[in-house]
Amino acid sequence: MSQAITTKYIGATNYKSSRVKASTESGISITMSWDDGLDVEGNHVKAAQALTKKLNWGGKWAGGGTKTGYVFVNVDRGNSFTQK
C-alpha cells in the first residue's frame, strides 16, 4: 500500500516567512515558502506535488482538508475499495 501525503501550514516567525510542509508517514518531507498568489488549497497542492516529484511518485492524486491541513492519496493504485 502506498503512503499518503499530509500537508500543514507553518506560520511566519521573526526569522522565516509563512511556509507549507508536505510529508509522508515515513518522515520524508519538503517545506516550501507560502505563495501569496495561490489560495490556501493551491499552496497545499503545490507542496504535495513537489513531494511526489522529489520521490518520483506518479499517478493521479486526490486530496481533502483536515483540521490541521490536507491529506493526499494516490488513486491509481490497485488497493482501492468501494464502500456500500
d(CA 41, CA 24): 18
How far is it, in rounded angstroms, from Cα 68 to Cα 42? 16
Helix, strand, coil distribution of the chain in percent, nearest 5:
20, 30, 50
Report, as an integer, the average pLDDT of 31-56.
96
**Residue 72: pLDDT band with limits 50, 70, 90:** very high
pLDDT 10s digits, 3-24: 899 999 999 999 999 999 999 9
pLDDT at 2 over 90: no
**pLDDT reading at 81 higher than 60:** no
Per-residue pLDDT, 63:
94
What pTM did the predictor assign? Answer: 0.87
For residues 56 and 80, the answer to whether their CB atoms sit within 8 Å is no
Q: What is the pLDDT of residue 76?
A: 80
